[in-house]
Structure 1
Amino acid sequence: MKVYSFRPVAPEDQALICRHRVEMFRASGRDEAVLAEMDGPFGEWLRPRLASGAYFGWLGLAADDEVVAGIGMMVIDWPPHPSHPTQSARGYILNVFVEPDHRGRGLASALMDLAMEEARRRGLDHMILHATRMGRPLYETLGWSQTSEMGLSLREGGLMTKLR
């Protein structure tokens, strides 16, 4: 059994976080061309948020200090809502990724525990994430449930293009 440790993400982890994000979406079957298009803009978006601490998270390290997993988190501005009627923010989990050779060993669960502990420390009443099919069973075992969110793409080829 491998022994893992965890450390907070830092600005110098930007390239690693970007790679994890691409690999996470790749594992869920997303289009390679879209992933290539997203990578640069995500890095530009991430840089100032890592520097300011608006994007934070943790990395899972194997015994040799190799980074083998990661999770990101943000506190996002959100109007009071039935899920958090007195708060104008919610926790947002993103970029949960475990290297294939290290899956099934409790890393994602441990990272989620760190994120939920941080949300409690910050006094947040509600957290959200967008689950891939692969991640959904883990989140459900941790008490997360499906919400009624819907989405609409306004990009070329989306519904708005078809209505023109």
Structure 2
Amino acid sequence: MDIRTLRPSDLELVCRHREEMFRDAGRRDDVLAPMTAHFREWLKPRLADGSYFGFMMSDHGVDAAGIGLMLIEWPPHPEHPTQDKRGYVLNVFVEPAYRKRGLARELMALADAEFARRGVSYAVLHATEKGRPLYQGLGWNGTTEMAKPI
């Protein structure tokens, strides 16, 4: 499996992975289509300036799995008392034909290493029900976060 960093030309691939990830989690197409259109516009400048970064795995030129990463500003917190940022993991997706091969686990290890390289000692993610066992097995824990639509 070849591994490379994300690049601006991955815009459509990342958008497709994100949409498929949410579709796989049970979200409806009437919600996903507008989300993807707005996400594409949000993502384009961030891929270009490197504020959205990550990795893509491919098998003989076939894109198999990807992960997105960001650094988010966050005030110092008991979990990271001397840092004003957190790592954020998003858009972890493995193509169906490549699942159950450890690719997501490998992507998460790459994320840990990249965050460490950038000096980040704490990271967060939002897990789908299908993804939760993987993340828990890698040492991720639930937090006290709550949410509500406004």
TM-score in terms of structure 2 length: 0.98
Which 4+ runs in 1 deviate beyond 4 A?
Answer: none
Structure 2: distance between partners of 1:91 and 1:133: 21
Paired position in structure 2 for 1:126: 122
Task: Indicate whether 1:6 and 2:9 are aligned.
Answer: no
Task: Indicate the residue corresponding to 2:145 in structure 1.
Answer: 149
- 1:122 shift after superposition: 1.0
Match of 1:70 among 66, 72, 78: 66
Provide Cα deviations, 1:105-152, integer angstroms capped at 9, x if missing partner: 010001100000001111111000000011111111111001111111
Aligned residues: 150
State the Cα RMSD in Å: 0.6
Gaps of 5+ in 1: 155-164
User: Which of these residues, 112, 118, 121, is aligned with residue 108 of structure 2?
Assistant: 112
Q: How far apart are the structure 1 equivalents of 2:30 and 2:48?
A: 29
1:18 matched to which residue of 2?
15
Residue segments in structure 2 that go unaligned for 5+ positions in a row: none
Identity of aligned residues (%): 55
Q: Which has the larger radius of gyration?
A: 1
TM-score normalised by structure 1 residue count: 0.90
Q: 1:39-90, CA deviations, whole angstroms, 9 ceiling, x for partnerless residues? A: 111000000000000000000111x211111000000001111111110000
1:95 aligns to 2:91 (yes or no) = yes
Specify which of 26, 29, 32 is matched with residue 32 of structure 1: 29
